[in-house]
Structure 1
Amino acid sequence: MNPVQIAQDSDVELTLDSALLFYRAQATNHIYATQHSARVVDGKPALLPGVPITLDQLADIADAAAKKTSYRGFVHERVVYFAPNQLVWWVPACRRRVWFKTQDAIGERAGEANHPPLVFVVNKSGWSVFALRENARPGPSTRLYTAPYYNVWENGEICEGNVKTPDSISSDSIKPFEDAFFRSRFTHSNNPRLIHRRGGAVRLWLDLLDGAKFPTDRLIATGRTLAAEMIGNIKLLD
Protein backbone atom coordinates (compact mmCIF):
# COMPACT_ATOMS: atom_id res chain seq x y z
CA MET A 1 0.00 0.00 0.00
CA ASN A 2 1.34 3.42 -0.95
CA PRO A 3 1.57 6.00 1.84
CA VAL A 4 -0.89 8.89 1.77
CA GLN A 5 0.63 12.35 1.90
CA ILE A 6 -1.48 15.37 2.81
CA ALA A 7 -0.26 18.78 1.64
CA GLN A 8 -1.39 22.09 3.13
CA ASP A 9 -0.75 25.65 2.00
CA SER A 10 0.19 26.58 5.57
CA ASP A 11 1.06 24.93 8.88
CA VAL A 12 -2.20 23.32 9.94
CA GLU A 13 -2.42 20.64 12.60
CA LEU A 14 -4.75 17.81 11.62
CA THR A 15 -6.53 15.72 14.24
CA LEU A 16 -8.60 12.60 13.79
CA ASP A 17 -12.28 13.54 13.67
CA SER A 18 -14.54 10.99 12.00
CA ALA A 19 -14.73 8.09 9.57
CA LEU A 20 -17.10 6.73 6.96
CA LEU A 21 -17.80 3.01 6.63
CA PHE A 22 -19.35 1.51 3.52
CA TYR A 23 -21.12 -1.85 3.49
CA ARG A 24 -21.79 -3.59 0.19
CA ALA A 25 -24.53 -6.18 -0.38
CA GLN A 26 -22.96 -9.02 -2.37
CA ALA A 27 -26.21 -10.05 -4.03
CA THR A 28 -27.48 -6.63 -5.13
CA ASN A 29 -24.28 -4.53 -5.02
CA HIS A 30 -26.19 -1.92 -2.99
CA ILE A 31 -24.13 0.19 -0.59
CA TYR A 32 -25.02 1.18 2.98
CA ALA A 33 -22.96 3.90 4.66
CA THR A 34 -22.47 4.99 8.26
CA GLN A 35 -20.59 7.87 9.83
CA HIS A 36 -18.59 7.37 13.02
CA SER A 37 -16.95 9.83 15.35
CA ALA A 38 -13.33 8.88 15.89
CA ARG A 39 -11.03 9.43 18.83
CA VAL A 40 -7.47 8.60 19.75
CA VAL A 41 -7.48 6.49 22.92
CA ASP A 42 -4.13 5.58 24.50
CA GLY A 43 -2.39 6.53 21.29
CA LYS A 44 -4.60 4.34 19.11
CA PRO A 45 -7.46 5.48 16.85
CA ALA A 46 -10.89 4.18 17.82
CA LEU A 47 -14.28 4.42 16.15
CA LEU A 48 -17.33 5.34 18.18
CA PRO A 49 -20.84 4.01 17.37
CA GLY A 50 -22.03 5.16 13.99
CA VAL A 51 -25.22 6.53 12.51
CA PRO A 52 -26.61 6.01 9.00
CA ILE A 53 -25.65 8.66 6.46
CA THR A 54 -28.60 10.47 4.91
CA LEU A 55 -28.89 11.23 1.21
CA ASP A 56 -28.42 14.93 1.98
CA GLN A 57 -25.15 14.17 3.78
CA LEU A 58 -23.96 12.01 0.89
CA ALA A 59 -24.77 14.87 -1.47
CA ASP A 60 -22.67 17.24 0.65
CA ILE A 61 -19.75 14.78 0.60
CA ALA A 62 -20.04 14.31 -3.15
CA ASP A 63 -20.21 18.07 -3.67
CA ALA A 64 -17.08 18.65 -1.59
CA ALA A 65 -15.22 15.96 -3.54
CA ALA A 66 -16.43 17.32 -6.88
CA LYS A 67 -14.87 20.70 -6.15
CA LYS A 68 -11.47 19.02 -6.29
CA THR A 69 -12.03 16.21 -8.76
CA SER A 70 -14.41 17.39 -11.46
CA TYR A 71 -15.12 20.27 -13.79
CA ARG A 72 -17.44 23.08 -12.78
CA GLY A 73 -18.63 25.73 -15.16
CA PHE A 74 -20.91 26.34 -18.12
CA VAL A 75 -21.40 23.22 -20.22
CA HIS A 76 -20.19 23.38 -23.82
CA GLU A 77 -23.13 23.18 -26.23
CA ARG A 78 -21.72 20.07 -27.94
CA VAL A 79 -21.09 18.03 -24.77
CA VAL A 80 -23.37 14.98 -24.54
CA TYR A 81 -21.91 13.37 -21.41
CA PHE A 82 -19.48 14.35 -18.68
CA ALA A 83 -18.23 12.94 -15.39
CA PRO A 84 -15.03 13.30 -13.37
CA ASN A 85 -12.16 12.60 -15.78
CA GLN A 86 -14.54 11.67 -18.60
CA LEU A 87 -16.03 13.72 -21.42
CA VAL A 88 -18.02 12.95 -24.58
CA TRP A 89 -18.90 15.52 -27.24
CA TRP A 90 -19.92 15.56 -30.87
CA VAL A 91 -18.68 17.51 -33.89
CA PRO A 92 -21.17 18.32 -36.68
CA ALA A 93 -20.22 17.52 -40.25
CA CYS A 94 -17.78 20.16 -41.40
CA ARG A 95 -15.11 21.13 -43.86
CA ARG A 96 -11.71 21.27 -42.22
CA ARG A 97 -8.05 21.14 -43.17
CA VAL A 98 -6.11 17.89 -42.70
CA TRP A 99 -2.50 16.86 -43.18
CA PHE A 100 -1.13 13.57 -44.53
CA LYS A 101 2.36 12.12 -44.65
CA THR A 102 1.95 8.53 -45.77
CA GLN A 103 3.76 5.80 -47.68
CA ASP A 104 0.74 5.14 -49.91
CA ALA A 105 -0.73 7.06 -52.86
CA ILE A 106 -1.74 10.03 -50.69
CA GLY A 107 1.87 10.81 -49.83
CA GLU A 108 2.62 14.19 -48.27
CA ARG A 109 -0.41 16.35 -48.84
CA ALA A 110 -2.62 18.83 -47.00
CA GLY A 111 -5.89 20.50 -47.82
CA GLU A 112 -9.50 21.24 -46.95
CA ALA A 113 -11.75 18.19 -46.83
CA ASN A 114 -15.33 17.32 -45.90
CA HIS A 115 -15.71 15.35 -42.68
CA PRO A 116 -18.60 13.27 -41.30
CA PRO A 117 -20.25 14.03 -37.95
CA LEU A 118 -18.01 12.71 -35.18
CA VAL A 119 -18.14 11.75 -31.52
CA PHE A 120 -15.06 12.05 -29.30
CA VAL A 121 -14.75 10.07 -26.06
CA VAL A 122 -12.01 11.19 -23.66
CA ASN A 123 -11.06 9.69 -20.29
CA LYS A 124 -7.95 9.18 -18.18
CA SER A 125 -6.85 6.12 -20.17
CA GLY A 126 -7.01 7.75 -23.60
CA TRP A 127 -9.30 9.16 -26.27
CA SER A 128 -11.39 7.69 -29.06
CA VAL A 129 -13.35 8.90 -32.06
CA PHE A 130 -16.37 7.50 -33.92
CA ALA A 131 -18.38 8.64 -36.92
CA LEU A 132 -22.13 9.24 -37.19
CA ARG A 133 -24.43 8.84 -40.18
CA GLU A 134 -26.86 11.53 -39.06
CA ASN A 135 -25.70 15.11 -38.68
CA ALA A 136 -27.57 15.57 -35.41
CA ARG A 137 -26.79 15.59 -31.72
CA PRO A 138 -26.37 11.94 -30.62
CA GLY A 139 -28.21 10.25 -27.77
CA PRO A 140 -27.75 6.99 -25.85
CA SER A 141 -29.23 4.86 -28.65
CA THR A 142 -27.27 6.53 -31.47
CA ARG A 143 -25.35 3.97 -33.51
CA LEU A 144 -21.60 4.47 -33.82
CA TYR A 145 -19.59 3.96 -37.00
CA THR A 146 -15.89 3.53 -37.64
CA ALA A 147 -14.16 6.90 -37.97
CA PRO A 148 -12.31 6.42 -41.30
CA TYR A 149 -9.14 8.19 -40.28
CA TYR A 150 -5.53 7.14 -40.31
CA ASN A 151 -3.90 6.79 -36.84
CA VAL A 152 -7.16 5.38 -35.39
CA TRP A 153 -7.43 1.79 -34.16
CA GLU A 154 -10.33 -0.55 -34.92
CA ASN A 155 -11.87 0.10 -31.46
CA GLY A 156 -11.86 3.84 -32.09
CA GLU A 157 -8.81 4.59 -29.96
CA ILE A 158 -6.64 7.38 -31.35
CA CYS A 159 -2.90 6.81 -31.68
CA GLU A 160 -1.42 9.94 -30.11
CA GLY A 161 2.14 9.58 -31.39
CA ASN A 162 3.89 12.87 -30.62
CA VAL A 163 0.64 14.86 -30.49
CA LYS A 164 0.28 16.98 -27.36
CA THR A 165 -3.14 16.67 -25.72
CA PRO A 166 -4.59 18.76 -22.85
CA ASP A 167 -3.52 17.84 -19.32
CA SER A 168 -7.06 18.15 -17.95
CA ILE A 169 -10.45 16.91 -19.11
CA SER A 170 -13.13 19.60 -19.14
CA SER A 171 -15.31 21.59 -21.50
CA ASP A 172 -12.38 23.97 -21.92
CA SER A 173 -10.27 21.17 -23.39
CA ILE A 174 -12.66 20.34 -26.26
CA LYS A 175 -11.02 22.67 -28.79
CA PRO A 176 -7.44 21.63 -27.86
CA PHE A 177 -8.41 17.95 -28.25
CA GLU A 178 -10.03 18.62 -31.63
CA ASP A 179 -7.02 20.63 -32.79
CA ALA A 180 -4.68 17.85 -31.64
CA PHE A 181 -6.64 15.39 -33.77
CA PHE A 182 -7.25 17.39 -36.94
CA ARG A 183 -3.86 19.13 -36.99
CA SER A 184 -1.87 15.95 -36.50
CA ARG A 185 -0.13 14.27 -39.43
CA PHE A 186 -2.16 11.27 -40.56
CA THR A 187 0.60 8.80 -41.37
CA HIS A 188 -0.73 5.23 -41.49
CA SER A 189 -3.86 3.13 -41.16
CA ASN A 190 -4.26 1.17 -37.91
CA ASN A 191 -7.44 -0.48 -39.19
CA PRO A 192 -7.61 -2.50 -42.42
CA ARG A 193 -11.32 -1.69 -42.91
CA LEU A 194 -12.01 2.03 -42.59
CA ILE A 195 -14.73 2.48 -45.22
CA HIS A 196 -17.04 0.44 -47.49
CA ARG A 197 -15.84 1.47 -50.94
CA ARG A 198 -13.53 0.48 -53.78
CA GLY A 199 -10.02 1.69 -53.14
CA GLY A 200 -10.62 1.88 -49.38
CA ALA A 201 -9.38 4.74 -47.24
CA VAL A 202 -6.71 5.80 -49.72
CA ARG A 203 -9.24 6.47 -52.48
CA LEU A 204 -11.63 8.04 -49.95
CA TRP A 205 -9.16 10.67 -48.80
CA LEU A 206 -7.82 11.38 -52.27
CA ASP A 207 -11.40 12.13 -53.33
CA LEU A 208 -12.11 14.19 -50.21
CA LEU A 209 -8.96 16.27 -50.71
CA ASP A 210 -10.22 16.92 -54.25
CA GLY A 211 -13.46 18.32 -52.84
CA ALA A 212 -15.81 15.32 -52.81
CA LYS A 213 -18.70 15.12 -50.37
CA PHE A 214 -18.25 12.66 -47.51
CA PRO A 215 -20.12 9.39 -48.28
CA THR A 216 -21.77 8.75 -44.90
CA ASP A 217 -23.72 5.86 -46.42
CA ARG A 218 -20.41 4.00 -46.82
CA LEU A 219 -19.44 4.19 -43.14
CA ILE A 220 -18.83 0.86 -41.39
CA ALA A 221 -21.06 0.10 -38.39
CA THR A 222 -19.28 -0.78 -35.15
CA GLY A 223 -22.32 -2.66 -33.84
CA ARG A 224 -22.38 -0.45 -30.74
CA THR A 225 -24.47 2.45 -29.56
CA LEU A 226 -23.12 5.45 -27.70
CA ALA A 227 -24.50 4.17 -24.38
CA ALA A 228 -22.92 0.76 -24.95
CA GLU A 229 -19.58 2.39 -25.73
CA MET A 230 -19.72 4.18 -22.39
CA ILE A 231 -20.17 0.78 -20.70
CA GLY A 232 -23.27 0.94 -18.62
CA ASN A 233 -26.40 2.98 -18.31
CA ILE A 234 -25.51 6.67 -18.50
CA LYS A 235 -27.58 9.82 -18.61
CA LEU A 236 -26.71 11.97 -21.61
CA LEU A 237 -27.45 15.67 -21.66
CA ASP A 238 -30.52 16.67 -23.65
Structure 2
Amino acid sequence: MNDVAIHHRGNVDLELDAALLFYRSASGEVYATQHAARVVNDRPVLLPGVPMTLESLADFAELAARRTTYRGFVHERVVYFAPNLLAWWVPAGKRRVWFEADGKLGNRSGECNHPPLLFIVNKRSWSVFALRNDERPGAATKLYRAPYFNVWETGQICTGNVDTPDAINSDSIKPYEDAFFRSRFTHANTDRLIRRRGGAVRLWLDLLDGAEFPLHQLVDTTRTLADVVSTLTEKD
Protein backbone atom coordinates (compact mmCIF):
# COMPACT_ATOMS: atom_id res chain seq x y z
CA MET A 1 0.00 0.00 0.00
CA ASN A 2 1.29 3.48 -0.87
CA ASP A 3 1.85 6.02 1.89
CA VAL A 4 -0.65 8.87 2.09
CA ALA A 5 0.70 12.35 2.75
CA ILE A 6 -1.71 14.88 4.29
CA HIS A 7 -0.71 18.52 3.87
CA HIS A 8 -2.19 21.26 6.01
CA ARG A 9 -1.32 24.85 6.74
CA GLY A 10 0.06 25.06 10.25
CA ASN A 11 0.58 22.34 12.86
CA VAL A 12 -2.44 20.07 13.20
CA ASP A 13 -2.66 16.79 15.13
CA LEU A 14 -4.82 14.16 13.42
CA GLU A 15 -6.28 11.15 15.15
CA LEU A 16 -8.06 8.18 13.64
CA ASP A 17 -11.78 8.68 14.17
CA ALA A 18 -14.04 6.82 11.72
CA ALA A 19 -14.19 4.82 8.51
CA LEU A 20 -16.70 4.25 5.74
CA LEU A 21 -17.07 0.87 4.05
CA PHE A 22 -18.75 0.61 0.66
CA TYR A 23 -20.20 -2.62 -0.73
CA ARG A 24 -21.12 -3.00 -4.38
CA SER A 25 -23.29 -5.69 -5.94
CA ALA A 26 -22.79 -7.20 -9.37
CA SER A 27 -25.66 -5.06 -10.66
CA GLY A 28 -23.97 -1.85 -9.45
CA GLU A 29 -26.01 -1.20 -6.29
CA VAL A 30 -24.00 0.37 -3.46
CA TYR A 31 -24.42 -0.16 0.29
CA ALA A 32 -22.43 1.80 2.88
CA THR A 33 -21.72 1.43 6.59
CA GLN A 34 -20.07 3.83 9.01
CA HIS A 35 -17.67 2.56 11.67
CA ALA A 36 -15.97 4.19 14.61
CA ALA A 37 -12.21 3.50 14.47
CA ARG A 38 -9.63 3.41 17.21
CA VAL A 39 -5.93 2.64 17.57
CA VAL A 40 -5.38 -0.34 19.86
CA ASN A 41 -1.82 -1.47 20.58
CA ASP A 42 -0.60 0.75 17.72
CA ARG A 43 -2.96 -0.95 15.25
CA PRO A 44 -6.09 0.60 13.72
CA VAL A 45 -9.26 -1.26 14.67
CA LEU A 46 -12.75 -0.89 13.18
CA LEU A 47 -15.61 -1.01 15.67
CA PRO A 48 -19.06 -2.37 14.76
CA GLY A 49 -20.71 -0.31 12.06
CA VAL A 50 -24.15 1.04 11.34
CA PRO A 51 -25.85 1.54 7.95
CA MET A 52 -25.38 5.01 6.53
CA THR A 53 -28.58 6.98 6.06
CA LEU A 54 -29.30 9.17 3.05
CA GLU A 55 -28.81 12.18 5.32
CA SER A 56 -25.36 11.10 6.47
CA LEU A 57 -24.35 10.22 2.91
CA ALA A 58 -25.48 13.67 1.80
CA ASP A 59 -23.41 15.28 4.57
CA PHE A 60 -20.36 13.27 3.50
CA ALA A 61 -20.89 14.13 -0.18
CA GLU A 62 -21.20 17.83 0.63
CA LEU A 63 -18.00 17.78 2.68
CA ALA A 64 -16.13 15.96 -0.09
CA ALA A 65 -17.51 18.34 -2.73
CA ARG A 66 -16.05 21.33 -0.91
CA ARG A 67 -12.59 19.88 -1.50
CA THR A 68 -12.98 18.20 -4.88
CA THR A 69 -15.31 20.29 -7.04
CA TYR A 70 -14.32 23.30 -9.12
CA ARG A 71 -15.15 26.71 -7.76
CA GLY A 72 -14.94 29.76 -10.01
CA PHE A 73 -16.62 31.57 -12.87
CA VAL A 74 -17.91 29.26 -15.59
CA HIS A 75 -16.45 29.86 -19.06
CA GLU A 76 -19.05 31.29 -21.46
CA ARG A 77 -18.51 28.44 -23.96
CA VAL A 78 -18.97 25.57 -21.49
CA VAL A 79 -22.01 23.43 -22.37
CA TYR A 80 -21.64 20.62 -19.82
CA PHE A 81 -19.63 20.35 -16.61
CA ALA A 82 -19.40 17.49 -14.10
CA PRO A 83 -16.65 16.12 -11.86
CA ASN A 84 -13.83 14.99 -14.18
CA LEU A 85 -15.78 15.88 -17.35
CA LEU A 86 -15.97 19.11 -19.34
CA ALA A 87 -17.58 19.91 -22.71
CA TRP A 88 -17.32 23.23 -24.54
CA TRP A 89 -17.82 24.58 -28.04
CA VAL A 90 -15.59 26.66 -30.31
CA PRO A 91 -17.20 29.01 -32.86
CA ALA A 92 -16.24 28.74 -36.52
CA GLY A 93 -13.27 30.87 -37.46
CA LYS A 94 -9.76 31.06 -38.81
CA ARG A 95 -6.90 29.31 -37.05
CA ARG A 96 -3.41 28.30 -38.03
CA VAL A 97 -2.70 24.60 -38.49
CA TRP A 98 0.51 22.66 -39.00
CA PHE A 99 0.98 19.49 -41.02
CA GLU A 100 3.86 17.03 -41.01
CA ALA A 101 2.32 14.50 -43.36
CA ASP A 102 3.28 12.35 -46.31
CA GLY A 103 2.16 13.09 -49.85
CA LYS A 104 0.66 16.34 -51.11
CA LEU A 105 0.18 17.99 -47.72
CA GLY A 106 3.78 17.50 -46.65
CA ASN A 107 5.11 20.08 -44.20
CA ARG A 108 2.63 22.89 -44.63
CA SER A 109 1.07 25.40 -42.28
CA GLY A 110 -1.22 28.36 -42.58
CA GLU A 111 -4.39 30.02 -41.41
CA CYS A 112 -7.57 28.47 -42.72
CA ASN A 113 -11.29 28.30 -42.04
CA HIS A 114 -12.50 25.83 -39.41
CA PRO A 115 -16.01 24.59 -38.62
CA PRO A 116 -17.63 25.15 -35.22
CA LEU A 117 -16.32 22.45 -32.89
CA LEU A 118 -17.20 20.69 -29.66
CA PHE A 119 -14.47 19.43 -27.32
CA ILE A 120 -15.14 16.90 -24.55
CA VAL A 121 -12.51 16.03 -21.95
CA ASN A 122 -12.63 13.51 -19.13
CA LYS A 123 -9.99 11.79 -17.03
CA ARG A 124 -9.48 9.04 -19.63
CA SER A 125 -9.86 10.69 -23.04
CA TRP A 126 -10.01 13.84 -25.10
CA SER A 127 -12.45 14.13 -28.02
CA VAL A 128 -13.52 16.61 -30.69
CA PHE A 129 -16.60 16.80 -32.93
CA ALA A 130 -17.77 19.21 -35.61
CA LEU A 131 -21.07 21.13 -35.59
CA ARG A 132 -23.25 22.13 -38.52
CA ASN A 133 -24.50 25.37 -36.97
CA ASP A 134 -22.31 28.13 -35.58
CA GLU A 135 -24.18 28.47 -32.31
CA ARG A 136 -24.07 27.14 -28.78
CA PRO A 137 -25.08 23.44 -28.91
CA GLY A 138 -27.70 21.87 -26.68
CA ALA A 139 -28.39 18.35 -25.49
CA ALA A 140 -30.16 17.38 -28.73
CA THR A 141 -27.57 18.92 -31.08
CA LYS A 142 -26.27 16.45 -33.67
CA LEU A 143 -22.53 15.86 -33.70
CA TYR A 144 -20.46 15.40 -36.84
CA ARG A 145 -17.05 13.88 -37.42
CA ALA A 146 -14.27 16.39 -36.91
CA PRO A 147 -12.27 16.12 -40.17
CA TYR A 148 -8.83 16.43 -38.60
CA PHE A 149 -5.82 14.17 -38.83
CA ASN A 150 -4.91 12.27 -35.64
CA VAL A 151 -8.61 11.99 -34.65
CA TRP A 152 -10.31 8.60 -34.49
CA GLU A 153 -13.76 7.79 -35.89
CA THR A 154 -15.16 7.98 -32.34
CA GLY A 155 -13.94 11.56 -31.99
CA GLN A 156 -11.11 10.63 -29.64
CA ILE A 157 -7.93 12.60 -30.22
CA CYS A 158 -4.61 10.81 -30.51
CA THR A 159 -2.59 12.75 -27.96
CA GLY A 160 0.87 11.53 -28.97
CA ASN A 161 3.52 13.66 -27.26
CA VAL A 162 1.23 16.70 -26.82
CA ASP A 163 1.17 18.16 -23.31
CA THR A 164 -2.36 18.53 -21.93
CA PRO A 165 -3.52 20.21 -18.68
CA ASP A 166 -3.53 18.21 -15.46
CA ALA A 167 -6.84 19.67 -14.28
CA ILE A 168 -10.27 19.54 -15.92
CA ASN A 169 -11.99 22.87 -15.35
CA SER A 170 -12.79 26.14 -17.10
CA ASP A 171 -9.20 27.31 -16.75
CA SER A 172 -7.99 24.38 -18.87
CA ILE A 173 -10.08 25.25 -21.95
CA LYS A 174 -7.48 27.47 -23.63
CA PRO A 175 -4.56 25.09 -22.91
CA TYR A 176 -6.54 22.19 -24.40
CA GLU A 177 -7.42 24.22 -27.50
CA ASP A 178 -3.80 25.34 -27.90
CA ALA A 179 -2.59 21.76 -27.50
CA PHE A 180 -4.91 20.64 -30.29
CA PHE A 181 -4.45 23.42 -32.83
CA ARG A 182 -0.71 23.80 -32.28
CA SER A 183 -0.02 20.10 -32.67
CA ARG A 184 1.42 18.67 -35.89
CA PHE A 185 -1.25 16.78 -37.84
CA THR A 186 0.49 13.77 -39.34
CA HIS A 187 -2.02 11.23 -40.67
CA ALA A 188 -5.69 10.31 -40.91
CA ASN A 189 -6.88 7.83 -38.28
CA THR A 190 -9.97 6.85 -40.26
CA ASP A 191 -10.79 6.58 -43.97
CA ARG A 192 -13.85 8.84 -44.11
CA LEU A 193 -13.28 12.16 -42.39
CA ILE A 194 -15.33 14.19 -44.89
CA ARG A 195 -17.79 13.56 -47.74
CA ARG A 196 -15.54 15.06 -50.41
CA ARG A 197 -13.79 13.75 -53.50
CA GLY A 198 -10.13 13.44 -52.56
CA GLY A 199 -11.02 13.07 -48.88
CA ALA A 200 -9.37 14.91 -46.02
CA VAL A 201 -6.17 15.63 -47.97
CA ARG A 202 -8.10 17.50 -50.67
CA LEU A 203 -10.14 19.27 -47.99
CA TRP A 204 -7.12 20.66 -46.16
CA LEU A 205 -5.28 21.58 -49.35
CA ASP A 206 -8.31 23.64 -50.36
CA LEU A 207 -8.68 25.18 -46.91
CA LEU A 208 -4.99 26.15 -46.82
CA ASP A 209 -5.58 27.88 -50.16
CA GLY A 210 -8.35 29.98 -48.61
CA ALA A 211 -11.55 27.98 -49.31
CA GLU A 212 -14.59 28.28 -47.05
CA PHE A 213 -15.27 25.24 -44.88
CA PRO A 214 -17.90 22.97 -46.54
CA LEU A 215 -20.25 22.34 -43.61
CA HIS A 216 -22.63 20.40 -45.87
CA GLN A 217 -19.94 17.74 -46.40
CA LEU A 218 -19.49 16.86 -42.72
CA VAL A 219 -20.03 13.19 -41.81
CA ASP A 220 -22.90 12.57 -39.37
CA THR A 221 -21.89 10.53 -36.29
CA THR A 222 -25.60 9.69 -35.66
CA ARG A 223 -25.05 10.82 -32.06
CA THR A 224 -26.12 13.90 -30.12
CA LEU A 225 -24.28 15.81 -27.44
CA ALA A 226 -26.45 14.09 -24.81
CA ASP A 227 -25.58 10.65 -26.25
CA VAL A 228 -21.84 11.24 -25.98
CA VAL A 229 -22.02 12.77 -22.50
CA SER A 230 -24.19 9.86 -21.30
CA THR A 231 -21.69 7.31 -22.64
CA LEU A 232 -18.76 9.04 -20.95
CA THR A 233 -20.47 9.52 -17.59
CA GLU A 234 -21.64 5.91 -17.46
CA LYS A 235 -17.98 4.82 -17.54
CA ASP A 236 -17.01 6.99 -14.56
Structure-2 change in CA distance of 1:101 and 1:232 (3 Å): closer
* CA gap 1:4/1:84 in 2 versus in 1, 3 angstroms: farther
| Contact 1:36 1:51 survives alignment (8 Å) | no
Offset from partner CA, 1:40-81 (integer Å, 9 cap, x none) = 5676623245264343x4333223323333321111111111
**Residues 90-169 of structure 1 correspond to what in structure 2 (within 5 A)?**
90-169=89-168
Deviation at 1:233, TM superposition (A): 9.4
Unaligned stretches of 5+ in structure 1?
Answer: none
Distance (whole Å) between structure 1 residues aligned to residue 155 and residue 44 of structure 2: 52
Q: Aligned to 1:191, what secondary structure does the other structure show? A: coil
Specify the SS of the correspondent of 1:38.
strand
Report the CA distance shift for 1:25/1:165 in structure 2 as closer, same or farther (over 3 A): closer
Deviation at 1:39, TM superposition (A): 3.9
RMSD of aligned C-alpha atoms? 2.4
* Match in the other structure for 1:78: 77
Mapped contact 1:70–1:85 kept (Cα < 8 A): no
Contact in 2 for aligned 1:117/1:135 (Cα 8 Å): yes
Runs of at least 5 residues in structure 2 that lack an aligned partner in the other structure = none
Residue in 2 that maps onto 1:229: 228
Q: 1:60 to 1:184 in 2, by over 3 A?
A: same
The reply to whether residue 47 of structure 1 matches residue 47 of structure 2 is: yes
Give the match for residue 20 of structure 2: 20
Determine the C-alpha separation between the residues in 2 that align with 1:97 and 1:179: 11
Q: Indicate the SS of the match to 2:108.
A: strand
TM (norm. structure 1) is 0.85
% of aligned pairs identical? 61
State the one-letter code of the partner of 1:19: A
* CA shift for structure 1 position 146: 0.8
TM-score, scaled relative to structure 2: 0.85
